[in-house]
Amino acid sequence: MRDLAGKTAFVTGGAGGIGSAMGRAFAEAGANVMLADIEANTLHDAVARLYPTHPTVRGVVCDVTDYESVESAAQATVAAFGKVHIVCNNAGVGGSGGIDDISLTAWRWVIDVNLMGVVHGVRAFLPHLKAHGEGGHFVNTASMAAFLPGTGFGAYTATKFAVVGITEALAMELAPHGIGASVLCPGWVNTRILESARNWPKDYGPPPTRELGPLADRIAELVKTGMEPSAVASLVLKAVRENELYIFTHPHMRPPLERRFDKILAAYRQLGAAPQEKAR
């Protein structure tokens, strides 16, 4: 989808951080943009910042954990712009503890937002993208934690692993329909991810307490000094235009990623050659 002029992009988690930056990038490329977010006031402010220079930007309140809410947002986007071409399932929350101390309720919340939010976005928009026949693209936000699980937040890591798998499957299954898929795997980005509990649903019970200690302090510093969301959005725009499956952001994370792959290949080498390889 090299020419985005006149196309429509839908972005969850669009009120701030990476989502807001993606919305701006798509708008600057000439696309109509629907920003979706659970925070109504923040969403209003995000749209207000873009609207004066990009009057085809709109906003819709949306809770990605609720399929009916996502479906309603999809209908509102179609009603506003006629067709949707790019769906960015970007809304996400951070973990709230390691495997040994995270509550089952917190597990459910992280899964409902980070994983089911992507599932709901695909389910709500895919029939529409197939029906209009003009092609399209899904961008699903995962994390480098999907490849390098060293954050200490096991639930977060688990959901991001799943998002990578979903997107890889989508890329293969949707290619015949002219629909692409990219998985965004950012490293540390300067967002409010560590303040995720501000949107903790009341019906989930008391919110989790914020993590304390050296690891939590180190993560907070890495986030604060992380890449600016606008730089991430530029990489997303390029990936959509060039139909790139993987979007990585931090070159210095390549060496530990290669070490992980080396361990995987070493495990295979222990199996020896496959029978058909021995016969050659």
For 167-213, how does the pLDDT look when each residue is reduced to its tens digit (9 = 90+)? 999 999 999 999 999 999 999 999 988 888 888 888 888 777 666 56
**pLDDT, tens digit, for every residue of 134-163?**
999 999 999 999 998 776 678 899 999 999
| 43-48, Cβ contacts within 8 angstroms, sequence gap of 24 or more | 43/14, 43/15, 45/15, 46/14, 46/15, 46/16, 46/20
Mean pLDDT over each residue of the chain, to the nearest integer: 92
Q: Which domains does the chain have, with CATH numbers?
A: 8-253 (3.40.50.720)
Burial 8-21 (b: 16+ CB within 10 A, else e): bbbbbbbbbbbbbb
Please confirm, yes or no, whether 51 is among the known catalytic residues: no
Beta carbons within 8 Å of 277's beta carbon, 6+ residues apart = none
**pLDDT, tens digit, for every residue of 86-122?**
999 999 998 766 666 788 898 999 999 999 999 999 9
pTM of the predicted model as reported, rounded to 2 decimal places: 0.93
What mean pLDDT comes out for the span 215-223? 83
For residue 277, what pLDDT is reported?
Answer: 54
- Local confidence band at 280 (pLDDT 50, 70, 90 cut-offs): very low
User: Contact 246/168 with Cβ under 8 angstroms?
Assistant: no
Q: Looking at the predicted structure, is the pLDDT value of residue 274 above 90?
A: no
**pLDDT, tens digit, for every residue of 226-261?**
999 999 999 999 999 999 999 999 999 999 999 999
**pLDDT, tens digit, for every residue of 26-42?**
999 999 999 999 999 99
Options 51, 67, 156, 268, the catalytic residue: 156
